Chains A and B, each alone.
Chain A
Amino acid sequence: MHFNVDKQTLQELNLLGRYRPDSIFSIFNHTVTRGATTLLEQHFNSPLSESHSIEERSNRFQFFYKNSFTLPFSSKEYDSTEQYVDSASATNPLLFLFTNIKQKLFSVLSIDKEHLEIVKEQRESVKVIKEFIELTHSIATKEKSEELLMKLSNINQKKKRDLLKRLEQYNPTDNSFINFLKLDYLLRYKNLTLVREILESIEEVDLYITVARVGRERQFNFAKLLPQDENRVEVKGVYHPSIPNAVSNDLLFNQEKNVLFLTGANMAGKSTLMKAFGISIYLAHMGYPAPFSSMEFSPATGLSTSINVADNLDMGYSHFYAEVVRVKEIALKVAENRRVSVMFDELFKGTNVKDAHEATVKITSAFAKKRRCSFIISTHIMEAGEELTKSEESITFKFLPSTLVGSQPKYSYLLQDGISDDRHGMTIIKNEKIVEIIAGDL
């Protein structure tokens, strides 16, 4: 079963997006090989929800996180190798010989320079393959590496050793055509399947090395898995990875306390906190390192956020109706008795105060009874919070504080217990002196 995430959630958390420099995908997208980027995309597109598969992948990343390796060749060299192997076309020895001799002949007659290109590609391929096999040897010397190496595309170890031995016999300074032919036969004819497998594992190892390196550089950490039916998520020091010097916070959800009721002024950091938590949950379900100092979690079956609900005026939806539709979508998922992690920012701002109050209380109470799911709900209607303190036991009340220094609000971005009634909408209007401008006093 897949971890269930819809399009709106992906957009709100800015998770995907190969060409968006600020997406979470882009944080990790520093691979050497193109194939590794494709793998990375696959991981981002399908986070996991089964404990054992999360654990298995996470362990591999952790191995490379602890043991630092680098790929011993450049992206350009690998591209040449890939091209060299991909252009293998011969299906029998005669054709193989004929193609090569034709290319050599054309090259000598200056008709076509393809042969010279291939010679260059071959030299780089030999280097790449040799060095990668050596890298796997040095990986093998580390602790807990056996299982990992076994998993690396089940490469036939004996054949690989043979290939390496043969490659070492060739003199790299020998530029004769016969030498080229022999190598070409070895790599692109006789051992083509093996060579292709090696390329695949290069891409896989590239991804592990890259993700682990990014994690180390950014001081990300790995989440620890808890049994699924414990329904517990505890994260310490979670922060938003795209914000420089982000402040970190601790959050805890379990069966007894499954709702966080979040208050605070505009700009106090409510949405950012939700996004930071959402991103960490998502990355944890991918088995990736994530922006927190520690985390323990029971795997969930999905993640849904409602942070920036857009109006859908084309479809004749008002803002309020769009919100209601979104709440309904999420309610359906929650009601299916699944373990969903849910975030609602400024619920029901598209309606009048009374309706917003009533709806917030009712919807929050209904959610609070779904103990297997965890919720973060933010609002400005502190009265709704006060009402909920009386009726619901499973809600934690926290706020993000703001203090006015003169007329400028200051924010600490650190969660505190309780409900806040800070609002600075009017302060912004006062700072812009709008009422005075209208009255003509300025």
Chain B
Amino acid sequence: MIFKADRQTKEDLGIFPSGRESSIYDLFNRTQSNGGSKLLRGMFDHPLSNIEEINRRSALISLLAKEEIELKIESEKFDFAEFYLSNQDQRTRIRGHKDNLERKFNTLIGSDQNYIQIKKGAESLVDIFHFAIGVVELLSNLKIGEELKPFIQLFQNLIDKEEFNPIKELIAGKRLNYAQLAICDNIFRFNYREDIGQLLTLIYTLDLYITVGKIGKELNFNYAQADDKVEPQIEIDSLFHPMVKGAISNSVKIESQKNVIFLTGANMAGKSTFMKSLGIAIYLAHMGFPIPAASMNFSVMEGLFTTINLPDNIAMGYSHFYAEVMRVKRVAESLSRSKRIFVIFDELFRGTNVKDAYDATVAITKAFASIANSFFIISTHIIEAGATLDKSCKNINFLYLPTVMEGNRPIYTYKLSKGITADRHGMLIINNENILDILNS
């Protein structure tokens, strides 16, 4: 089972970089090693949907952050090592009995580029191996919780292998002679290549977790706790948008009895920003990463669908309204296939006239409200639809983002309030622009 989030969702939330905008991935992409960065991409591509995996990863990251463990990774060495390991050509294998005069002469005049590459790679790997021994020692000496133990054990088991004894006997940072190189090369590239690969991955993972933990701390993120309650719920305290400077935080709770949030508010009141920050928190929580909130408890979902900036597809002859209808249809089909999905719709049906939008919003929201195990957030500027839904549906939570008028100027608080907004500033904006005066003068 995987956590589903389609391209539209990732684009809406700005998970991956597109154009000049900085993304959530960029926030975390500061690992020291290239391998760590690749792992990070993989984690962003495939969020988890298994409660144990999520909690294990978030526990590890938070623990490493709490202990303020620092690793100094020489990423150049890892690059050499990776390049060296990728060469699996048997003909380039260093053999002890080939240590003849011809080879020595070639090396002396520096004509054997291959040999130099191999030597450099093997020496880097020897250093890395000794670095790993040091890391394991450092981690084992910490008096820390159970969560880290299996991870350290993996490390320990690899290093403790008898076959690696010749490597352990070498001294890090020292040049290898031909005989030593032949032994190392055998171990690294041919006999125990997979173990070495695993060791590198463990170091990358550690680098990644430490980096993520550190960034989480810098950004004031905290860790979400996945739970397995029978009735799904999501409770977030002090949620904020990580890209908005001085963002105002909001707390929100969604549960089966109130599985739809109907969000209203004037234009610019912050509806989209709130929805995006919620989407980001849910996405990161399912990766076991720190989230932009003070705390979060959540039931693991099977997918996240957002529709915040839906592009028109006029080239295909779709009107904006039709594109929206097709998007709703897609979400509806997913709902009928899986159990728990989180759905976010910003300005549902804005591509059509206000009256059709009203009818459609009421019909679709009602239908969503009946799917108790999935959660929905729907925003609209058609406040009349809210009033109708209030009468007919019990499990809708009506929230709004208020606007306070200071003279003629609207001020936005960005703090969620209960109810449906009565703010109508359409005429006010028109009056502020003096359009009628221009025409009547």
Which residues of A are interface residues toward B (Cβ below 8 A)?
266-267, 313, 316, 318-321, 324-325, 327-328, 331-332, 334-335, 346, 348-356, 358-359, 362-363, 366-367, 369-370, 379-381, 423-426, 428-429, 432, 434-435, 437-440, 442
Contact = CB atoms under 8 A, between A and B. Distances in A.
B110 to A, nearest CB: 50
A353 B309 contact: no
B364 interface: yes
B441 interface: yes
B359 A426 contact: yes
A332 B436 CA distance: 10
B321 A352 contact: no
A277 B355 CA distance: 27
B439 interface: yes
Given A353-B358, A437-B333, A348 B426 contact: yes
Contact of B336 (A366, A381, A440): A440
B198 interface: no
Interface in B56-100: none
Candidate in A266, A352, A434 with the most chain B CB atoms within 10 angstroms: A352
27 contacts: A318-B267, A319-B267, A320-B267, A320-B426, A324-B433, A331-B435, A335-B438, A335-B441, A352-B383, A353-B382, A353-B384, A354-B424, A358-B426, A363-B430, A366-B436, A369-B439, A380-B353, A380-B354, A380-B356, A423-B355, A426-B363, A428-B322, A429-B363, A434-B325, A435-B364, A437-B329, A439-B367
A67 B15 CA distance: 64
A268 to B, nearest CB: 12
6 residue pairs, one from A and one from B, having the closest CB atoms: A425-B356, A355-B426, A380-B353, A318-B267, A366-B439, A438-B367
B364 A434 contact: yes
A386 to B, nearest CB: 14
Given A425-B360, A435-B363, 16 more contacts: A325-B433, A332-B438, A354-B424, A355-B425, A356-B354, A359-B427, A362-B430, A363-B430, A381-B354, A424-B356, A425-B356, A428-B321, A435-B364, A437-B335, A438-B364, A442-B336
A393 B360 CA distance: 35
Candidate in A424, A426, A442 with the most chain B CB atoms within 10 angstroms: A426
A374 B327 CA distance: 39
Contacts of B356: 266, 380, 423-426
Contact of B440 (A359, A366, A423, A435): A366
Interface string B372-383: 000000000111
B267 A321 contact: yes
Contacts of B349: 425
Nearest to A380: B353
Candidate in B349, B429, B435 with the most chain A CB atoms within 10 angstroms: B435
A321 B319 CA distance: 21
B139 interface: no
Contacts of B439: 331, 334-335, 363, 366-367, 369-370
Contacts of A328: 433-435, 438
A223 B92 CA distance: 84
Interface in B338-375: 349-350, 352-360, 363-364, 366-368, 370-371
B245 to A, nearest CB: 14
Nearest to A438: B367
A349 B426 CA distance: 11
B367 A352 contact: no
B328 interface: yes
A380 B359 CA distance: 13
